[in-house]
Chain A
Amino acid sequence: MTIRLAWRSLWRNKRRTVITVCSIAFGLTFAIFFIALADGAYEQMIEQMVRIQSGHVTLEHVDYREAPSVDLSITIPRQLRSEVERWPAVEETKLVVLGQGIVKSGAGNMAAALMGVEPSSEQATSPVARNLIKGNYLEPADGPQVMVGSEMAERLNLGVGKKLVIASNDVNGTLVEELCRVKGIFRTGSEEMDAYVVQMPISFARRLFRLPRGGATQMGVILRDPGSQKRIIQRIRGLLHDRSISVLRWQEVMPDVATYIKMDKGSNLIFQGILIFLILFTIFNTLSMSVLERQREFAMLMAVGTTPGRLRLQVLVETIFLGLIGCFFGLLLGGITVLYGHLYGINLSGIMGESVNISGFALSSRMYTKVSLDIFLGSTITVFAATLLLGLVPVRRATRISIVDTLR
Chain B
Amino acid sequence: MITVAAISLNVAILIAAYGLMDGMMKHLVANVTNLVAGEVQIHAPKYLVDRSMYKTIQDPMEILARLKRRGIEGAARSYGYGLVACGNKSAGALFWGVDPAREKEAFDLADHVASGQYLETAPQKEIVIGRKLARSLHAKVGSEVVIVVQAADGSLGNDLYTVRGILKAAGDQIDRNGAFMHRQDFQELFVSGGRIHEIALNTRGTVPLPALKGIAAAASPHADVKSWRQLMPALSDMVNFFDAGMWLFGMIFFLAAALGVMNTMLMSTFERIREFGILKAIGTSPWRILGDVAAESYLLSLLSTIIGGIIGVGLSLYLRDKGLDTSLFIPKDAAVSVSGIAFDPVWRATISLKTIFSPIIMMWFISVIASLYPAAIAARLEPVKAMTRV
Distance, CA A367 to CA B338, complexed state (A):
21
Given contacts A190-B234, A281-B260, contact A365 B244 (CB under 8 A): yes
The answer to whether A30 has its CB under 8 Å from any CB of chain B is yes
Q: Is the interface of B mostly helix, strand, loop or mixed?
A: helix
**Distance in Å from the Cβ of A114 to the closest Cβ of chain B?**
16
CA distance A370 to B390 in the complex (A): 44
A88 to B238, CA, bound (A): 34
CA distance A281 to B390 in the complex (A): 25
Indicate if B303 sits at the interface (CB-CB under 8 A): no
Q: Which of A8-22 contact B (CB under 8 A)?
A: 12-13, 15-16, 19, 22
User: Which of B10-18, B34-42, B357-365 participates in binding chain A?
Assistant: B10-18
Asked if B247 is an interface residue, CB under 8 A from chain A, the answer is yes
CB within 8 Å of A: which of B333-363?
A: 334-340, 343, 345, 347
A348, B244: Cβ atoms closer than 8 Å: yes
Q: Decide: A267 near B24, CB < 8 A? Known: A358-B237, A367-B245.
A: yes
Please tell me which one of the listed residues B20, B241, B252, B335 contacts residue A30 in the complex, with CB atoms under 8 A apart.
B252
**A357 interface residue per 8 A CB criterion:** yes
The answer to whether A357 touches B256 (Cβ under 8 A) is: no
Known A19-B263, A277-B13, A285-B260; judge A255-B334 contact (CB<8 A).
Answer: yes
How far is A363 from B259 in the complex, measured between Cα atoms in Å?
33
**Across-interface contacts of B240 in A (CB, < 8 A):** 351-353, 356
Contacts of B337 in A (CB 8 A): 256, 259-260
**Per-residue contact bits, chain A 185-215, to B (CB 8 Å; 1 contact, 0 not):** 0000110100000000000000000000000
Known contacts A27-B256, A189-B237, A275-B253; is-contact A270 B327 (Cβ 8 Å): no
Bound-state CA distance A288–B2 (Å) is: 9
A23-B263, A260-B336, A263-B330 given as contacts; is B233 within 8 A of A289 (CB)?
Answer: no
Pair B252/A34 contact, Cβ less than 8 Å: yes
Q: B330–A358 contact, CB under 8 A?
A: no
Tell whether, in the assembled complex, residue A192 and residue B172 are in contact, meaning their CB atoms are under 8 Å apart.
Answer: yes
- Given the interface pairs A19-B267, A278-B13, the reply to whether A263 lies near B243 with Cβ below 8 Å is no
* Residues in B whose Cβ lies below 8 Å from that of A271: 17, 20-21, 249
Q: Are B234 and A289 in contact (CB under 8 A)?
A: no
- Rounded to whole angstroms, the CA-CA distance of A23 and B256 in the bound complex is 9
What are the interface flags for A362-395 relative to B under an 8 Å C-beta threshold, 1 for contact and 0 otherwise? 0101010000000000000000000000000000
Q: Do B2 and A190 touch across chains, with their CB atoms under 8 A apart?
A: no
In the docked arrangement, what's the CA distance between A240 and B240, Å? 44
Please report the C-alpha to C-alpha distance between residue A357 and residue B238 in the assembled complex, in whole angstroms: 7
Q: Does residue A312 face the partner (Cβ distance < 8 Å to B)?
A: no
Q: CA A351 – CA B328 in complex, angstroms?
A: 32
Interface stretch of the complex, out of A57-65, A290-298, A317-325, A398-406: A290-298
Specify which of A267, A292, A296, A358 is in contact with B326 (CB 8 Å cutoff).
A267
The answer to whether A278 touches B237, judged by C-beta atoms less than 8 angstroms apart, is: no
A279, B21: Cα distance in complex, Å: 19
**Chain A residues within an 8 Å CB radius of B6:** 281-282, 285
Interface on chain A toward B: helix, strand, loop, or mixed SS?
A: helix
- Give the residues in chain B near A190, CB-CB below 8 Å: 233-234
Collect the chain A residues with CB atoms within 8 Å of residue B248's CB.
37, 346, 348, 367
CB–CB B2/A285 < 8 A: yes
- Given the contacts A33-B252, A190-B233, A365-B244, A259 and B271 also touching, CB distance less than 8 Å: no
Residues from chain B with a CB closer than 8 A to the CB of A296 are 390
- Docked Cα-Cα span, A147 to B13, in Å, equals 52
Measured CA separation A19–B260 after assembly (Å): 11
Cβ contacts under 8 Å, B260 to chain A? 23, 278, 281-282, 285
- Please indicate which of the listed interface residues B20, B256, B263, B340 has the most CB atoms of chain A within 10 Å of its own CB: B256
Neighbouring B residues of A297 by C-beta, 8 Å: 390
A176 at the interface (CB under 8 A from B): no
Beta-carbon contacts under 8 Å, A37-73 to B: 37-38, 41
> Known contacts A271-B249, A296-B390; is A265 also within 8 Å of B263 by CB?
no
Of the candidates B9, B49, B244, B335, the one whose C-beta lies within 8 Å of that of A351 is B244
Asked whether A363 lies within 8 Å of B241 as measured between CB atoms, the reply is: yes
A270 contact from B266, B324, B343, Cβ within 8 A:
B324
In the complex where A281-B260, A351-B243 touch, is A289 in contact with B267 (Cβ < 8 A)? yes
Among B17, B252, B330, point to the contact of A266 (Cβ < 8 A): B330
- At the interface, yes or no: A93 with Cβ under 8 Å from chain B? no
Which residues of chain B are within 8 angstroms of A34 by Cβ–Cβ distance?
249, 252
Q: Which residue of A lies closest to B169 (CB)?
A: A256
Chain B residues within an 8 Å CB radius of A16: 267, 270
| A residues in contact with B336, CB < 8 Å | 256, 259-260, 263
Q: Inside 8 A of B21's CB, which chain A residues have their CB?
A: 271
Which listed residue (A41, A260, A353) contacts B245, Cβ 8 A? A41
Q: How far is the CA of A23 from the CA of B125 in the complex (A)?
A: 68
Most chain B CB within 10 A, of A22, A23, A37, A269, is at: A23
Within 8 A of A (CB), among B243-292: 243-245, 247-249, 252-253, 255-257, 259-260, 263-264, 266-268, 270-271
Is A7 interfacial (CB 8 A cutoff)? no
A91-137 residues at the B interface, CB under 8 angstroms: 111
Within 8 Å by CB of A13, from B13, B169, B390, lies B390
* CA of A352 to CA of B244, assembled, Å: 6
Q: Is the CB of B271 within 8 A of A286?
A: no
Please determine whether A356 and B326 come into contact, CB atoms closer than 8 angstroms. Answer: no
- Enumerate chain B residues within 8 angstroms of A293, measured Cβ to Cβ: 267, 270-271
In this assembly, does B50 line the interface, its C-beta being within 8 Å of a C-beta of chain A?
yes
A359 within 8 A of B: yes
Contacts of A277 in B (CB 8 A): 13
Task: Give the docked Cα–Cα distance between A218 and B175 (Å).
Answer: 23
* Cβ A256 vs Cβ B340 within 8 A: yes
Interchain CA distance A26-B256 in the complex, whole Å? 8
Q: How many angstroms from the CA of A358 to the CA of B329 in the assembled complex? A: 25
| Residue B92, interface by CB 8 Å | yes
8 extra interchain contacts, Cβ-Cβ under 8 A, other than A190-B233, A259-B335? A30-B255, A256-B169, A259-B336, A266-B328, A282-B259, A289-B267, A297-B390, A358-B234
5 A–B contacts from the bound complex (CB under 8 Å):
A192-B173, A267-B326, A275-B256, A282-B260, A351-B240
Residues of A within 8 A of B (CB): 12-13, 15-16, 19, 22-23, 26-27, 30, 33-34, 37-38, 41, 111, 155, 189-190, 192, 255-256, 259-260, 262-263, 265-267, 269-271, 274-275, 277-279, 281-282, 285-286, 288-290, 292-294, 296-297, 346, 348, 351-353, 356-360, 363, 365, 367
Would you list the 10 A-B pairs with minimal beta carbon distance, nearest first? A266-B329, A282-B260, A348-B244, A352-B244, A266-B326, A351-B244, A359-B234, A289-B267, A259-B334, A259-B336
